[in-house]
Amino acid sequence: MAGAIASATLFALPAAAQDTRLSLADRVSRLEQQSQQQAGTTSLVNQVNDLQQQLAQLQGQIEELQHQNQQLQDSQKAQYADLDSRLGRIEKGGASQGQSPAAPATAPGPSASSAAPAAVQPASAGAAAPAQAAAGAAPAHADADQQAAYDAAFKSLRAGDYVSASRGFRDFLVKYPDSPLAPNAYYWLGESYYVTMNYPVAIEAFQRLVKQYPQSDKVSDGLLKVGYCQIELKQQDAAVATLKQVAAKYPGTKAAGLAQERLRRLQRQTAN
């Protein structure tokens, strides 16, 4: 009997050991699975955190772009309002001299503002041509064809059709490069681009006015507008140099005063 029990015990011990080994293997397997699940969960959490950071960055960029877009819209509205106001003053000035407000035939000289295209002195002349220039000198008379072409472009500008206005002034300058109205045409060509925020092309028009007609009474305002365009294009150093040039070359003029005021504003912005 004792032998039988001993024999049974000997057979039972390997089976128990085998069961223990299987149990350990199962536990190890389960631990490995849990570890893998935890690693996968950690990786997923990291990915979610990365996505949240990227989303926050994108939201910040969207808000910045919206802010910039609003600034551009506000600037454009201000430029449109200023241009309408100046053209209204032109018409009133023409009417006070016996001209018809509905068909301004003068090319008034600009008087620039710091926020938008340069304003126009009602007493200036040029496009109406038989009148005197703002500087006091009497310009040569433009013939009827020149006057008609100029008036058509100016009418488009007054109506807010800046594309047609710029095309009209360009065609005028190609066809009548020696016209006494050419300085005015270059100025208003620059304005038609400036008001639509096409600053590089506006600079080109204003610079041609400054270089080709240095004796024109519109040069100081044209040079001032070059500085304004450079500011809009973030060409800070060039803008400061241009505005200082206006203040130094044309002391006592409205353009010089506006240049000095804009320089002070730029200095305050830099200080802040």
Compute the C-alpha angle 240/245/248, nearest 5°. 125
Distance of CA 258 to the CA centre of its chain: 21
* Strand partners of residue 111: 119
Please enumerate in sequence order all residues whose Cβ is within 8 A of that of 194, keeping only pairs 6 or more positions apart, or say none: 79, 116, 117, 202, 225, 228, 229
Residue 85, pLDDT score: 53
- What pLDDT digit, counting tens, does each position of 58-78 carry? 655 665 555 455 445 555 555
Helix H, strand E, coil C: the string for 158-185 is: HCCCHHHHHHHHHHHHHHCCCCCCHHHH
Q: In 3-state terms, what secondary structure has residue 207?
A: helix
Residue 217, pLDDT score: 87
Would you mind telling me the total number of residues written for the chain in this entry?
Answer: 272
User: Please, what sign has the CA dihedral across residues 106, 111, 116, 117?
Assistant: positive
| Spans in the chain with pLDDT lower than 50 | 67, 70-71, 91-92, 94-139
Q: Which helix (H) or strand (E) holds 26?
A: helix 2-96
Residue 126, pLDDT score: 35
Residue 87, pLDDT score: 57
Q: What is the rounded distance in angstroms from the CA atom of residue 180 to the CA atom of residue 141?
A: 7
Phi, psi of 213 (to 5 degrees): -135, 65
Q: What is the rounded distance in angstroms from the CA atom of residue 261 to the CA atom of residue 144?
A: 41
Q: What is the rounded distance in angstroms from the CA atom of residue 101 to the CA atom of residue 123?
A: 14
**What is the pTM for the complete model shown?**
0.55
Closest CA to 175 of 202, 152, 199: 152
Residue 116, pLDDT score: 39
- What pLDDT digit, counting tens, does each position of 129-172 carry? 333 333 323 345 778 899 999 999 999 999 999 999 999 999 99
Q: What is the rounded distance in angstroms from the CA atom of residue 137 to the CA atom of residue 33?
A: 96
Give CA separation, 219 vs 68, 200, 233, 262, in Å. 32, 18, 21, 18
Residue 226, pLDDT score: 96
